Amino acid sequence: MRIIKPLLAVLATGFILVYFSEFLFWARPRAGDNQGGWLGSWLVYSFTGFILVSVIGYFRARSIWALFLAGAVFGWLTEGLVVQTAYENLPLSLSFTGLAWHALISVLLGWWVMRKCIKRGLLSTLCLSAAIGLGYGLWAVHWWLAPDGGVSSVSEFSFYSLTATLLVLVAYGVVDRWLPEPFIPKRWIVLFAAILLAAFFIFVTVPATPLAAVILPILLLIIFATLRHNRAIENEGWAESSAPAPLVNYLGLLALPVVAIAFYALAAGLELRWQTNWMFYLITTPAGFILFFLSLWKIWHRQPSFSP
């Protein structure tokens, strides 16, 4: 069980990340989607999620600034190494989606803030889930205008959203009970993961997008140098209680699909055709850049903290 529980927690981490990064982003089953494809995405996000929680644990990323940089590692590995969308429309593509969605929404909001709300209580979980559900519903309706045809019926959207959320509810419970904090895996495991990433980068990413050979190493070098400084000055213990939240608190997550479905049904009934994606682009893209540079500045200018 010493190995099985952390492994399941990493897989659950991957599902939380794929939920916010893929299921909420695409907001519908697409043509060609199948169980095999979803399983593959889950495993990829479990691998990059393993990198995320390892970075958080090793570099003592406890502040929002350090967590955002850890999220940037996750985002740029996902969008700049596994796939190459980070280089498609430079420089804006460096933020959307690596920073603007993966680091900001998937990691800070979905991984960090949501878990804090679950531990705080049912009401806080309900409020945050409802707010995310409203944003999710707004985002989902823009796919109706997609060139490839992104219209799902209300019943299809409802089944998709409810099923994914019930699964992520379980994933949160597994993570909160079985993920060690700090999560610091054995060195040989980290080395093996690094070799896999390097091999994929050299033989897949760079041939597909040669510019990645310059951009991604520089970005990661900046982040890891900053996180190394964070580790040197962060001496406080983990303040979070290891006690799991009551099971009822997790039910608050169901407000997310309920609010999203209600908005989606209303928009469908009124035949609204809104390009809400631009609202998200205009807000989150600059926010990603601002938070990235602010995180660098905050960590380098922070004074060391000491345990009592």
Q: Where do the structural domains in the chain lie, given as residue ranges?
A: 4-300
Neighbours of 296 (CB within 10 A): 19
56: CB partners within 8 A, 6+ apart: 66, 67, 70, 182, 183
pLDDT beneath 50, residues of the chain: 307-308
Task: Give the pLDDT confidence score for residue 174 in this predicted structure.
Answer: 97
Q: What's the predicted TM-score (pTM) here?
A: 0.95
261: CB partners within 8 A, 6+ apart: 137, 154, 157, 158, 161, 162
Task: Give the pLDDT confidence score for residue 149 in this predicted structure.
Answer: 65
Task: Give the pLDDT confidence score for residue 281 in this predicted structure.
Answer: 96
Secondary structure (DSSP) of the chain? -TTHHHHHHHHHHHHHHHIIIIIHHH-SPPTT--HHHHHHHHHHHHHHHHHHHHHHHHTT--SHHHHHHHHHHHHHHIIIIIS-GGGSSTTGGGTTTIIIIIIIIIIIIIIIIHHHHHHH-HHHHHHHHHHHHHHHHHHHHGGGG-TT-----HHHHHHHHHHHHHHHHHHHHHHHHHS-SS----HHHHHHHHHHHHHHIIIIIHHH-TTHHHHHHHHHHHHHHHHHHHHHHB-PPP-S--SPPPHHHHGGGGHHHHHHHHHHHHHHHTT----THHHHHHHHHHHHHHHHHHHHHHHHTPPPB---
Distance CA(282)–CA(105), nearest Å, equals 15
pLDDT tens per residue across span 267-303: 999 998 899 999 999 999 999 999 999 999 999 998 7
Distance CA(203)–CA(307), nearest Å, equals 45
Distance CA(22)–CA(140), nearest Å, equals 12
- 244 within 8 A of 177, measured Cβ to Cβ: yes
